[in-house]
Each structure stands twice: as C-alpha cells, then as structure tokens.
Amino acid sequence: MPLWDKLKTELDRAGRAAQGALDEGKLRLEAFRVRQLADRAAQTLGYAVYRARAAGGELDADSYARLGAALAAHEAEASRLEAQLAEVNRRDGGTAAPNAPPNAPPNAPPDAPRPGQPGGQADESMPPVNPT
C-alpha cells in the first residue's frame, strides 16, 4: 500500500497548490477591481476640481472632503490587498514582482522594461537593427 499512500500525498499536494493558485487569482482580481475604483475616484475628483475652476471658483470643502475620502479609502484598500498579495508570493516562493510585465527578469519592479525593448536587456535571438 505504499504506492497508494504516495499517490494520496501527491494528490493532496497538487490540491493545495491548485487552491493556492485560485486564492492568489482571487486576490489579484480583487486588488485590480479596487485599483480601478481608486482610479475612478481620482478621475471624479479631478473632474470636480476642473469644473469648479472652469466656472471661476473653487471646489467646495464638503465635496472635496467627500471625494478625497473615497479616494483615500480605495487607495488604502488597494495597498492592503497588494501587501497581502506580496505576502502570498513571498510565502509561496514566488520570484516575480506582483505586477511585473511578462518576460521581466525575476524580482524586477512592476515598471521595469521587458527584454528586447528600449531600455531593456538585449535579446540575443534578434539581430541588431541598423538604422539606415
């Protein structure tokens, strides 16, 4: 029966890995959704300030406080979720940054250029381009 025990152990490990991937995916999706809400709140605040100044005045304090509080709340939630995601990646041994672009070197910051792009590492499989 050691074969069955080994099979059960491997299936359990695969199940835990799959569940971890699903949990990470849910966390990424939630962080993305909250970041979109923060972007919309920032956009709303910007439009309100713009419209108030275009009308020759300033945005009233109540509106600014309300819109600013909404933006701050979404930013705080996004930061919390991104910290949770970083913790999950660190705990599970993930090597890439949470928002790193595809083909980015391991542990690259999210805005790092990809290899083969201007500012990125050269791609040896591509011949150099001669600007003529």
Task: Using the predicted structure, report yes or no on whether residue 114 has a pLDDT greater than 50.
Answer: no
| Count of positions (residues) in the chain | 132
**Average pLDDT of span 17-46:** 92
User: Binning pLDDT at 50, 70 and 90, where does residue 90 land?
Assistant: confident
Type of residue found at 68: G
CB-CB contact of 63 with 48 (8 Å): yes
pTM of the entire predicted model = 0.59
The first and second tokens of residue 57, run together, are 């005045």
Task: Using the predicted structure, report yes or no on whether residue 64 has a pLDDT greater than 90.
Answer: yes
Minimum mean pLDDT range among 56-60, 67-71, 113-117: 113-117
Task: Using the predicted structure, report yes or no on whether residue 107 has a pLDDT greater than 80.
Answer: no
User: Binning pLDDT at 50, 70 and 90, where does residue 74 land?
Assistant: very high
Task: Using the predicted structure, report yes or no on whether residue 121 has a pLDDT greater than 80.
Answer: no
The reported pLDDT for the residue numbered 126 is 45
Give percent of the chain above pLDDT 70: 69
CB-CB contact of 73 with 40 (8 Å): no
CB-CB contact of 92 with 98 (8 Å): no
